[in-house]
Each structure stands twice: as C-alpha cells, then as structure tokens.
Amino acid sequence: SKQSLSRSGSLSPRLLERREEAIRVSVRLRPLMDTELRSGHHYIWRVSDGQLWVEGGTPDIPKSVSDRVKGVQFGFDHTFEGDAATSDVYKKVAKGIVHDAIRGINGCVLAYGQTGAGKTYSMSGDASHPGIISWAVHDVFNKEFLLRMTYLEIYMERVHDLLQDGQAGEDSPLENLLVKEDPSKGFYVAGLAERLVSSEGEVYEWLSRGERKRHFARTDFNEVSSRSHVVFTLIIENSQSSAEDDDVKTTRIGRLHMVDLAGSEPFGAAISEKAQAESKLINKSLFFLSEVISKLSARAEASGKDLADSFHIPFRESKLTRILASALGGHSRSALLVALHPSHCFLDESLKSLRFADKAKKIKSRLQANYVSYEQSVIAQQKLTIAKLREELRL
C-alpha cells in the first residue's frame, strides 16, 4: 500500500513468504561418446533417485582407479542419467524457479562442471535438444508479462555486455563494464543493456547476436568459451491490481539468472609471467564462487550458534560473485546443476565437482518477492510513451 513507500519512492520489498529454502543441487551425467568408448573410457558413476555411487566390479577399470573411489556415495535433490532428456531436467530443476520468478521471487540456475561435461548442452542445448533456457523462455512467454533481458560474459574479470549496440569486429575489444553496489538495489552492472522482448523469437535473436559478439571478438574462441562465464537474465515484470483496491496497482519484478559457468578444471601450467597473471584473472571468479559457497555453507551449519555472524562472505572479491550475490546469499530460489563427465578418466575433476555440490546443498535462502509501485514499472512508463506518441500523431 501507499504507506510502505520508501523515501526513494519505491515500495520496500514485502515478504511474500518467510519460507527458508535450501539451494537445490542436482547432478547430470552425459553419455560417453563413441570416440570416447573407442579410446578406452568407461562409465564409472551410477545414479538413481538422487543417489550417486561408483559402479563396482567393472573389469575394464584399473583396480588402482576403482580402489580410490570405493564406497564413495553422494545424495542430491535429483540425479540424471546419460539418456535423460533436458525437458525432464528442466521440470525437476528449474521450472519451479521460473514460475516463482513470475511471482517476483528472484531465481538462479547455475551450471557447473568441467569442460566437456555438458554445461552448455544443459543450458543452451542445440537445435534438436532445447536447453533449460529455451524451456524457461517458452514457459514465461506462455503467460502475459513485460519481459526484458540482459546477456553478459565475464572473461578475465572483465564484464562484457553481449547485447550492446556497436559492431563486434574481429579486433574490436569488448567494453569492460563496472559492477557497482547500490545500498538498496545491491550489486548491479552499470550500463548493461536491457532489451525489451515480446516473443520467444526475439529472445533468440538477441542471444545469437550476443553469441556472434563473443565469437567475432576472438580468434581463440573455444579456449575463451571454456574460460568465461555467461549470464543470461530475464527480468519479468508482472503488474496487477491489488486484491483489495482495483486502483492500487503494484508490480512484481522477478530476475531470473541462467548461468553457464567456466570449466571447473584448473587452467594449464602458465609459463610466462603474463600468462600467470592472465590465468589468475581467468580463475578468480570461479575461485571466489567456490569460496562463497564454502563460507555460506559453513555459516548455514553454524546458524543458531553465535558463530553465524562471524562469517565474512567474500562476495566483493570477484565479478561473478558480485553479480550472483543476491542469488546465492539472499532471497532467491537457486539451483545448481552439476554436469558430470561419466568417464573413469576424470575422477579428480568429478570428485571436486561433487564435493562442491555437496557444500552447496547446505546453503539456505529466505524467499522474498520484489515489488515496485506501478508508476515505477516499465510497463507504466511504456504506456505513457505510447499515449504521448498518440497525441503527437493526432497533431
């Protein structure tokens, strides 16, 4: 209502639900490819009903390897085998988050894992296997809302707007945007282009334009792509009259982040000083993501004890953790999808991913919906603009 307007004119976020919710953590295995099978890779992980364990007694896997993971077992919210369809992954991992984003609760879906394990396949998919992004966009466009999107990339601690105007020539460097902090809004990327989108087709046009930008600016695209984080954000604005008073309209704004993270494997031995400096920058965001997850999870374990307040969470230390601060530490519904390589040849990386996922399970957030007054909503501003244009046309 009017009384809850803050001094800046925006309605202070009202609590929709005080429900505490843990981050949902799931693991998806991909199938081994023919080339991998021919070159001696074997399936080592088994999953079923959220449980993950090691395939015992596989004669082809060297005993030294299977001994190392004997008895290893993890439990997650969901597990998916190599033949699982992304539509099923979407239903179990992301759909609830997307639907709550329409109700004004921020959401975040993060894909984590080593290069080649299936992060991009899960998030973006390909022409015949739509990814989580496609299913989410489709779901949101089935309802009637005002939609905006942003698309950015973090590479070597530089934040690149993938939707900004201007040509992306072979040599044109992508501009580095600052991640600033606002006392009420929290962290935001200054000057990031927001595009109004009115159809699914428009979303894909912008996304492929963004992808072209990523490609054209580089000669070593594959390397860059496995080393960069890509954040696609849908901003869903939902205006409706209040239940009590038809004239008082409020607008709920839900931000939905869908993140394809850089490969989690360590970056190769850097020889030159320049390469060392670069590799530090390349790893920084992922390193601090891991730190943030560890600290948040330790804090959640200590909660109730006096210790809980003494955990410093290093959100500020990297671009990625700043951008995801509200998603990880705050009031968002979040899901982590770990893409897991099925082969026995990648035990170290797989175990690292699983331990990371295991920590993330403990993190809790308190759900809360975001409101602004109707006057402040983009849809109200648009209606004003349209009314003005009509006036001008009549003259």
Provide the token pair at 268: 């190769």
Q: Which range binds ligand ADP by CB under 6 A, 56-64, 116-124, 188-196, 227-235?
A: 116-124
Q: Which residues, numbered 330-349, are part of the site for ligand ADP (CB under 6 A)?
A: 339
Q: How many CB atoms lie within 10 A of CB 68?
A: 14
User: Is 125 an interacting residue with respect to ligand ADP (CB under 6 A)?
Assistant: no
Q: Which range binds ligand ADP by CB under 6 A, 117-125, 161-169, 270-278, 350-358?
A: 117-125
Q: Please name which of 18, 7, 322 lies closest in space to residue 190, comparing C-alpha atoms.
A: 322
CB of 86 to ligand ADP, least distance (A): 7
CB of 133 to Mg ion, least distance (A): 13
Provide the token pair at 254: 């839900």
Q: Binding string, 96-115, against ligand ADP, x = CB under 6 A?
A: -----------------x-x
Instruction: Write the secondary structure of 111-152 as one string of H (helix), E (strand) and C (coil).
Output: EECCCCCCHHHHHCEECCEECHHHHHHHHHHCCCCEEEEEEE
Q: Which range binds Mg ion by CB under 5 A, 118-126, 141-149, 166-174, 191-199?
A: 118-126
Distance CA 83, CA 89 (A): 11
Q: Can you state the angle between helices 132-141 and 200-216, rounded to 10 degrees?
A: 150
* Out of 76, 90, 112, 121, the residue judged to bind ligand ADP by CB under 6 A: 121
Beta bridge partners, 29, equal 340
Q: Please name which of 22, 23, 21, 26 lies closest in space to residue 88, comparing C-alpha atoms.
A: 26
CB of 320 to ligand ADP, least distance (A): 16
Phi then psi for residue 103, to 5 deg, are: -90, 10
User: Is 332 an interacting residue with respect to Mg ion (CB under 5 A)?
Assistant: no
Residue 279 binds which entry of ligand ADP, Mg ion, none, CB below 5-8 Å type-dependent = none
Residue nearest to ligand ADP (CB): 118
Answer for the pair 221, 215: CB distance below 8 angstroms, yes or no. Answer: yes
Q: Please name which of 367, 370, 361 lies closest in space to residue 332, comparing C-alpha atoms.
A: 367
Distance CA 168, CA 162 (A): 9
CB of 227 to ligand ADP, least distance (A): 11
Q: Binding string, 3-42, against ligand ADP, x = CB under 6 A?
A: ---------------------------xx-----------
* Out of 118, 210, 254, 329, the residue judged to bind ligand ADP by CB under 6 A: 118
Length of the chain: 395
Residue nearest to Mg ion (CB): 120
User: Is 326 an interacting residue with respect to ligand ADP (CB under 6 A)?
Assistant: no
Provide the token pair at 387: 């009314």
Q: Binding string, 236-265, against ligand ADP, x = CB under 6 A?
A: ---------------------------x--
Q: Which residues, numbered 251-290, are part of the site for Mg ion (CB under 5 A)?
A: none
Provide the token pair at 260: 């394809």
Q: Which range binds Mg ion by CB under 5 A, 12-20, 114-122, 135-143, 381-389?
A: 114-122
Provide the token pair at 275: 């390469």
Chain residues that interact with ligand ADP, rule: CB under 6 A:
30-31, 113, 115-121, 226, 263, 339
Chain residues that interact with Mg ion, rule: CB under 5 A:
119-120
